[in-house]
Each structure stands twice: as C-alpha cells, then as structure tokens.
A and B are shown apart, each in its own frame.
Chain A
C-alpha cells in the first residue's frame, strides 16, 4: 500500500477494553507520500490533536489530502512518516485488524453488505469480536432504535430495499456497534438530497450529544463543516494544514488568504449558523387575546420601548399575527381577526442565520419564538441578532 510498511510488534497487547466516551486522537508530523522519494506529498507534516469527544471536520478542496489523513487513523493508508496516536497509543503498534475494530467507519456510499440483513450488517463488528449472541441481539436493537429505525420492521430486511437515508442511518448504527471511542466519517451525508442531508446532520448531532465519540469527519462543504464541527482543520493542496480552530475562530479570524477565500465572502453571515435562537436573550412579547379592551392594550404597549406591535394569540398561546397602533385605535374589544397574519415563527434550536432569513422575509422584522407546541416563548429581533454578532467579534 504505502512506501513504508511497518509491521506491528508481535508482542503488542490487543487492548479491547471499550471506553464509553471518545479518545484523544493525535497526529504528530504526519506525512504521506504515494510513490517514491521525491514525489509530491499527499499529506505534509501534519500535526493536530482532536480532544476526546469532539467532532473534528477535515475540510478543503479536492486533492488536499483530507480523506488520506482520515484513512491513516485506521491504517487504510499507512503514513510515510510521523506518528498517530489514540489515547497515547501508537496506531502502528497495534495489529491493523484489532485497531479497525475499535474505530467506527462511515463512508458516503455506506458500503452496507448486500448479502446480509440490516440486523446482520449492524452486528458485523460485535461478531468479529465474538460477543455472545444475546448481547449482539440486544445491541442491534438498541442501535437501530438510536438511529430511529424499528428493529422489528427493519432488522430482517436486506439493504437493497432501503432508501438512501435509511441506509446511511444503518451505516452509522453499524459503525457504532462495538461502541468504538473513535469514528471516521468520509462525506457521510454527501449522497443524499439537501433536505435529507440536513435532517441526517441534525440527527447525528443529537446522537453525538448522547454518545460523545471522537469524530473525524471529512467533507468538502464549508457549510457542513461549520455546522458539524467542534473544530475545523482546513487543508490545502498537498495536505498542508492551513488552519485548525473552532468554526467561530476560523470565521472571525481566518489565518490566511487561502482560508478566507475558502470559507467564502459571506463568512459574517456564516457565523450566524454557529449560534442559535436559544443563545439570545428573548424579548417579552406583548400578547393579546381577542376580547381585551383596546385602550388597555395601548397602555401596555406604550410601556415597552422596543415594541411597536402586540401579538395576538389564541387560547393556547399560539401566535395569530401582529397588531399595530392603527389596529388598536378607538375603543372596544380587540376583534379575533384584528391581526395581520404572517408572523414568522422560529424555534430555540433554529440557527440565527435561518431566523434572520425568516424575519427578513416578513413585514414586521421580529421573529416569534415558539416551543414545540407552538406556544409563544418570546420574540427575537434583527437588532438582537446583529448585537450578538458584534459581541462575538470582540476578542
């Protein structure tokens, strides 16, 4: 495979004790050269440390060595020089087969085994590790539930009958089967359409909150990198590390012109993807129910400086629309149909970027924050978002 093939020490103990959380993955001056001495490096003197339990996204243009870098961690590619350790243990000192059984692996084409059922696919690594049968069965059911698939429905089906999204979920379940501390993911959501990709990304992030793996994730898509990463490693041609930092730091302070160009001119806007509505302090809405005296509402609205609009809600506190001073003129109760409909609603999990985009599309530039029962929690304003952005920019 590589120019240098080091044999694992015959006496090295095969450590199969599986920790629950992630492990520290460290690359120290790693170089990979295909072909003889003097040919260009695919990866060049790369050093980076991925803290336990974090998602590190390797991103860069094609030919930047991101996939090669990832594959060196489980020795699908062997480094020409340098050292890779997992929790301090040199990967080249472990037998490759043992090492790989401790590292989850997800690829774009998924690579499910067509001749095995879904349950058998998920059970592959536990079988290789010779787990007892009942433990494997329990684990398969648990994992399929974890990725949102019903074991009774899916367990006995073959991969050929499944959708791309289902296959990808099973690929993730299979990679997690033996609870490996480290997961390698190569463009795992690259083959599904944008809507499903977004859903799979969210699902994976939620899953990661629970399992806390150390993930090395390869993509060429900056937006995906920003969304998924705790840390981003931006590589440039020849496998040179251009910058390695948190998404926020990279967007706020690109280390070079290359990084700046790569992340794009709209990096200010991209930073909005890093924060969510729940990170902001919400304004209290002046909520009104049909039947309340207009004079009363006018008085309440006047007490709040920031707001020119009251929000008409139904009995369950769900938003119906905005009411302005004009609607409140005169006496008598507020009518049920007094509001101008079309108040954009956002959830606490919505990114600021999406929230901003929803608000800019409506006449009143306020977002109504609602919970999962559509009940009003508060308001978010364009001003609040730009304020958040300003604060984040300060060192």
Chain B
C-alpha cells in the first residue's frame, strides 16, 4: 500500500467482479465435493453403526481426532503424499465433515419414534424399505440440519485451502489481500465467504422445507 492511497477502493471490486465470480465458483465446487463425499461416507458409517452399535464410540473417536488436527497441519502432513492437489484439500475437508455428519445421522435415525418403527415392521416393510421409506424421511429434518452445519464449516475451511493452491475466495484474502497489502481484497473475500455461508445455509433450509411438508404442518 503506497502512502496516500485510500484504505478501501470500492472501484476495485467493480473492476474485478469476474474474478470474484470465478473464485466464488471454485469455492462452492470444493465445498460441494467435500460435503458430498463426506455425506456418502458418513451415511455408510451411520448405517454400519446402526447394525453394530458398539462401533459408535471408536468411529466417532477417530472422526473427532481427525477434526482436532489443525487444518494447516493436516495439509502439511498430506502434501508429501498427495502433493499440492485437490485431493489433498478434499481429504482434509472430508475428514472434518465426518465428525459432524456421522453423529448427526446416527442421532437422526435414533430419533425415529419406536412405535413408528414397530408399526412399519409389523405391516411388512422389509428392512431396506423401512429404512428408505420410513426412517430416512422422518430423520430428514435432523440430517439436513447436520448437513447445514457441515456445509457452513466447510465453506470456512475452504478459505484456508487456498494455501495449497485451491483458489477459492481465500485467494482474495490471502494471495491478493495479505500478500499484496491490499485490504479491499481481504475485506471483499471475507464478506463473500460469510455471505456464501448464509446463502447456502438458507438454501438448504428451503430445500428441507420442500422435502418435508409434514414437518411444517406440525410446526403450524
């Protein structure tokens, strides 16, 4: 920053809207991949835990340990193996979603009222039919709640993944804002990350409402 230059230069944002859009796109994509893979793994683990409940403790313990590793440290540990790549970033990001999603899906499935499960069994649902047609739909609001937390957390973490070359909105904050002493870019990046979190969160909430009209009827 040269002396005399204003602290913030809004016109920079206007001139760089295309950059902002591209970085937002990258950010969303990295987030989406992480949450999607994390969800699939967590879902499998949750079903496994339901079958073999004694594994709940160990699995959650492992996920919690992964979560406790600082993201930078985890990147550093992975770089010798997977390099400065998307894979490195996603391994770290997916690990962080597990602790939230596994616990959440297990809790959601446990929350299905036992009388509903008994009725479903007694009416002749197979195990699979009961899971997909009864338990999961009823557990959906809580599962989506967990998905929202995981997504918002991941959006925050993706910002750090810029350090291993993943771009995203972190690029504005770190590579332009901090490295070039350009506060406008930092602030733009931060505001964009926060806005993105809020928008995605609301979008998921809206989707959940559409998928579970019966839950709305209860609230009314």
Contacts and interface: CB of A to CB of B under 8 A. Distances in A.
Given A76-B118, A101-B124, A114-B138, 15 more contacts: A97-B125, A100-B122, A105-B123, A107-B115, A110-B119, A111-B116, A111-B119, A112-B119, A113-B138, A115-B138, A117-B214, A125-B123, A128-B123, A128-B129, A157-B217
Given A76-B118, A76-B121, A160 B217 contact: yes
A85 B125 CA distance: 22
B217 A161 contact: yes
Given A97-B125, A115-B137, A128-B125, A160 B214 contact: yes
Interface in B91-135: 113, 115-116, 118-126, 129, 134
Nearest to B137: A115
Contacts of B220: 161
Interface residues of B, number: 24
Interface in A147-189: 157-158, 160-161, 174, 184
16 contacts: A74-B122, A97-B124, A97-B125, A98-B124, A99-B124, A100-B121, A100-B123, A105-B119, A105-B122, A110-B119, A111-B116, A112-B116, A112-B119, A115-B137, A124-B123, A128-B123
Interface in A64-111: 74, 76, 97-101, 103, 105, 107, 109-111
B51 interface: no
A115 B123 contact: no
Contacts of B54: none
Interface in B199-220: 212-215, 217-218, 220
Given A107-B118, A114-B116, A115-B137, A101 B218 contact: no
Contacts of A101: 123-124
Interface of B: 113, 115-116, 118-126, 129, 134, 137-138, 140, 212-215, 217-218, 220
Nearest to A157: B217
Contacts of B126: 97
Contact of B214 (A76, A97, A116, A184): A116
B198 to A, nearest CB: 28
A128 B124 contact: yes
Contacts of A128: 123-125, 129
A111 B125 CA distance: 14
A116 B125 CA distance: 15
Nearest to A184: B122
A109 B213 CA distance: 22
Interface size class of A (residues with CB under 8 A): 20 to 34
Interface of A: 74, 76, 97-101, 103, 105, 107, 109-117, 124-125, 128, 157-158, 160-161, 174, 184
A175 to B, nearest CB: 8
Nearest to A108: B115
Nearest to B134: A113
Contacts of B212: 115
Given A158-B214, A158-B217, A160-B217, A111 B124 contact: no
Contacts of A125: 123-124
A128 B138 CA distance: 19
* Of listed A97, A99, A107, A174, residue having the most chain B CB within 10 A: A97
A114 B133 CA distance: 12
A114 B119 contact: no
A106 B118 CA distance: 10
Closest 7 CB pairs between A and B? Answer: A111-B119, A101-B124, A109-B115, A100-B124, A105-B122, A111-B115, A160-B218
B120 to A, nearest CB: 7
Contacts of B140: 115
A115 B121 contact: no
A215 to B, nearest CB: 15
A158 B214 CA distance: 6
Contacts of A109: 113, 115
Contact of A158 (B123, B124, B218): B218
Contact of A114 (B118, B123, B129, B218): B218
Nearest to B213: A158
A116 B212 CA distance: 10
Contacts of A161: 217-218, 220
B186 to A, nearest CB: 46
A355 B160 CA distance: 82
A387 B104 CA distance: 68
Contacts of B124: 97-101, 125, 128
A103 B212 CA distance: 30
A174 B124 CA distance: 13
B116 A113 contact: yes
A253 to B, nearest CB: 36
Q: Which one of A107, A115, A124, A174 has the greatest number of beta carbons of chain B within 10 Å?
A: A115
B137 to A, nearest CB: 4
Nearest to B119: A111
B217 A76 contact: no
A113 B139 CA distance: 12
B74 to A, nearest CB: 39
A174 B119 CA distance: 10
Nearest to B138: A115
A124 B124 CA distance: 9
Nearest to B139: A115
A114 B126 CA distance: 19
Nearest to A171: B119
A76 B122 contact: yes
